[in-house]
Structure 1
Amino acid sequence: MTIRVTIAGATGKVGGPLAKAVAQSGDLELVGAVARANTGKRLGDVIGAAGVDVVIRGTAAEALAVPCDVFVDYTRADAVKAHVLTALEHGAHVVIGSSGLSDADYAELDAIAKQKDLGVFAAGNYAITAVLLQRFARLAAAEIPSWEIIDYSYEKKVDAPSGTARELANQLAAVRAPSYHVPVSSTVGARDARGATIAHTQVHSVRLPGYTSSVEVVFGVGSERLSIRHDSLDPAGPYVGGTLLAIRKVSALRGVVRGLDRLLGT
C-alpha cells in the first residue's frame, strides 16, 4: 500500500533531497509540501525535481487539507511543535526531523498521540553512523563513570543543545548518571562555563562557521581518556535514508517513540 507523505520544510537542506527521494520511491507518494518561501509554486520547479507537481503551501494546515498518512517536519525549533499538533489533529502519523523540543514537549505530544491512536517518531539524528555512536557510548558508559558531551553545529543554528546531543544524554542516563569529582553546583566562577545539565550530563554547545553537525562524548577515568565522535559533512545525505525508514514504520507505532535505534532493533 502506498504511503501518502507531506513534508514541512520541503525546500530546505534536508527537506528538498527528502522530497526527491519520496517522489522517486515506489511505495511512497508525496502529496503535500510546506515552506515559508515560494508559496503557491510547484515544488518540483523550486527543488529541481521534474515530475514533482505538489504545490507548496504556506502553513501545515493548508497542506494537510490534502489527506496524508505521514507528516514529516524538517523546519525549525520554533515551529515544529505547532506543526506536530496540527498534523495529529488531522489524523496523520508524524516523523520529527527538527530539533528544539524539550522532554516536556515530547511528554505532551505522547499523551495526545496515544489519545488519537497515532504514532510520532523523533530522532536527534537520522544518520546510521550516529546510531552507532550512541551504541558505542552506552557500552563505554557501563565501564567508565565520568563523561561530558560537546555539541558542534553551524553558526545559524538557534537551538541548543542539538537533538543529537540531547538524545545521547538521555540514552546515557538510562545506563547510569555520570560521576563528577566536583559537583557542578560547587563551581567557583561562572556556573554556565560548565555547560547545561541534560539528563545528568554536562553538555557544551559550539556554534561556529565551518561545522555542519557533530557530536562528541568524552569519557575519562584515572589517567585515561576515550573520545567517541560523529561528524556529518553533508547537510542532507546522511539523514534521508533514516527518515525514509521512519516514514515506512511510524504507522505501526503509538505515542512518541524516540531514537533511530528503536527502528533498527539495536
Structure 2
Amino acid sequence: MKVIAAEERQSLKTCISPAIITRVRDFGEADLLVTFFTPERGCLKGVARAARRSRRRFPNCLDLFCLSRVEYAEHPRGGELHTMISCRLLDGFEGLRRDWSILTLAGYMVEVVEMLSPPQAADPSLFSLLLRTFKLLEGEIQPLHVQIFFEAAAMALGGYGIELGRCSSCGRTYEGLGRAAFHPEKGGIVCLRCGSESALNPGLDPLGVQALGHLQALEWDLFERMTLPREMAQAIERVNRRHMDYRLGRRPKSLAWL
C-alpha cells in the first residue's frame, strides 16, 4: 500500500466522524495501520503516522473496539488507504476487557459487521447496532442473549431476515400454535407438515419464533426486558448459526473461540 506524501496530503478532503476501531497493526517503523468503522463510510483503513512513537495526536484512542472521533484525509485517487490526522477517545468500553470471552464476542461481532458491510459503504444502522451491543456487553445481560440479538438484528439489517410469518414451503400463515423447523435454503421456517426438525433444520417452539421476531425487529427496550430461558436462547442460536453459515458462506474465525 502506498502512503500519501506530505505535499499531496494538503489538498485532500478532510473528514471527521465517530468510528469504532476494529483492527490495529504495526505499519513500518513507527506508524499504525488502523481499520475503523464509521456510520457514513462503513469500514475504512487509515495510516496513523508516528502513532507508536508519539501519543500526542492519538492519545489512548486506537485500542481495539473503542469509540473514537477520527479526523482523516481521504486518499486523493479514491484508494482504500487514508491518512489519519488526529483522534480523540469517546468511549473506551473498558467493560469489554473484563473477561476474555466478552472480548472475543466483541471481536466476533466486528467480523460479522465486516462480512455484511462492503468497504466504504455507508451503514449507519449497522454502526448503531454494533455500538449498542457493545454497551449491552458491558452490562448485566447474559452474553449469549446479546449474541443472539446481535446476530438476528445484523442479518435482518443486511437484508437476510428470516421469514417467520408463514411456512416457506406451503405458504400457510404461521399461527404460533406449534413447533416449526428452520430451513436455511428457504430462508425461513416451515411447518412440520412440510418438513421435520434435524441438526441441519433446527426447530423452534412458538415462543422461540416470537422471540426471534422481536430480535430481528431491533426492539431494544423489549429486548432489555425479555427473560429468555437458556434452552430457548440456545435454540435461537442454532437457528442463527445455520442461517448465517448458509447466507454468508463462511464462518467468522473468532467463532471458534467463543
TM-score using structure 1 length: 0.28
TM-score using structure 2 length: 0.29
Instruction: Determine which structure has greater relative contact order: mean sequence separation of CA pairs < 8 Å that are 6+ residues apart, divided by chain length.
Output: 1
Question: Which has the greater radius of gyration?
Answer: 2
